[in-house]
Amino acid sequence: MHFEVTILGSNGAIPAHNRYPTSQFLNYNGQGFLLDCGEGTQLQMSKYNIKRGKLDHIFITHIHGDHFFGLMGILTSFNLNYREHPLHIYGYVGIEEIVRTYFKHAQTVLRYELIFHTVTDDRSRLVFENSAISVESIILKHRIPTTGFLFREKSGPRKILPEKLDQYQIPVQEISKIKMGADFVTADGMSIPNSELTHDPSPPRSYAFCTDTSYTETILDQIRGVDVLYHEATFLHEHRERAAETGHSTTREAATIALKANVGKLIVGHFSARYEDLSELLSECKDVFPDTELAIEGHLFSI
């Protein structure tokens, strides 16, 4: 089962140094989820061969322009390309008003349905769920209401041991029951315990997307132990006063969150345009949390 994230945009407020504002594409077994939609997102999707047809869910963390200015473009392109199936948008209440107002004044009637899901900032909530994965909002600490998103894979069925199929002549129609935990009774009445027929499924995987936010430990319990954490690290630690003024985090703050939450890997992004060379930001993170990588555009991270 594929569970992977492609970085489309990694810069902060403005495009700079060939870096675009925040956007990521999450592929879960062929189902596409877009995380934020900064300026240039659809250009980046084309550049990195991400098919728009796979995208049915867009999550917007907050309504600062560097996180959604690409939204109108991609919604319009869907319309021009004769999309017919619905598109779901998740975000704070203002995002629906902005989108509806734009299309109203553009006198554009979409060929497909837009379905908005309001994400509030009072507490974490389940905002999406299907049979394989769930998405929870993460309450962040920024200058305006902002929510990150936590993607959790659900536990799969038990794995049947192939050699047991032949050994006990297990009929095809019994396999799904065994995967769900049932024992098997042979033709001569012998009961074979499930533990002999199967082994545990792979541990469920998780990905937390946290941008934009000041340093806050209120998120620790929710993200504890996730396989991969994306956390903004807009500034070097020497610029921590500027980070606090603007509602952002420093490298060391992002790494400290990763360390305290005991995550598997940290990816940092949302880089300030003042930094062309990102090596010092990475070094500061690694001093605190060694398993840190930069959100370099075009990089694909497997969860």
Per the model's pLDDT, the better-predicted residue between 34 and 53 turns out to be 34
- Summarised one tens digit per residue, pLDDT across range 244-275 is 999 999 999 999 999 999 999 999 999 999 99
Q: Do 297 and 10 contact (CB within 8 A), yes or no?
A: yes
pLDDT at 183: 83
Query: Which amino acids are annotated catalytic?
Result: 66
Q: Percentage of the chain surpassing pLDDT 70?
A: 100
- Tell the burial category of 35 from Cβ atoms under 10 Å away from its Cβ (0-12, 13-18, 19+): buried
CATH architecture for segment(s) 3-156+268-279+291-302: 4-Layer Sandwich (3.60)
- The pairing of strands 31-37 and 23-28 is antiparallel
- What is the token pair recorded at 154? 């659900």
- What is the token pair recorded at 87? 């598109």
Q: How far is CA 220 from CA 138, 160, 215, 265, in A?
A: 10, 36, 11, 15
* Of the candidates 122, 121, 72, the residue with the CA atom closest to the CA atom of residue 92: 121
User: Domain map of the chain by residue range?
Assistant: 3-156+268-279+291-302, 159-199
pLDDT at 172: 80
**Whether pLDDT at 218 is above 90:** yes
pTM strictly above 0.85: yes
Per the model's pLDDT, the better-predicted residue between 173 and 60 turns out to be 60
Per the model's pLDDT, the better-predicted residue between 42 and 156 turns out to be 42
Count how many residues are written for the chain: 303
Full DSSP string of the chain: --EEEEEEE-BSSS-BTTBPBSEEEEEETTEEEEEEE-TTHHHHHHHTT--GGGEEEEE----SGGGTTTHHHHHHHHHHTT--S-EEEEE-THHHHHHHHHHHHTT---SS-EEEEE--SSS--EEEE-SSEEEEEEE--SSS--EEEEEEEPP-PPEEPHHHHHHTT--HHHHHHHHTT--EE-TTSPEEPHHHHEEPPPPPPEEEEE-S----GGGHHHHTT-SEEEEE--B-GGGHHHHHHHT--BHHHHHHHHHHHT-SEEEEE-B-TT-S--HHHHHHHHHH-SSEEE--TT-EEE-
- Summarised one tens digit per residue, pLDDT across range 75-122 is 999 999 999 999 999 999 899 999 999 999 999 999 999 999 999 988
For CA atoms 281, 284, 286, 292, give the dihedral sign.
negative
- Summarised one tens digit per residue, pLDDT across range 145-165 is 999 999 999 987 778 878 877
Q: Percentage of the chain surpassing pLDDT 90?
A: 81
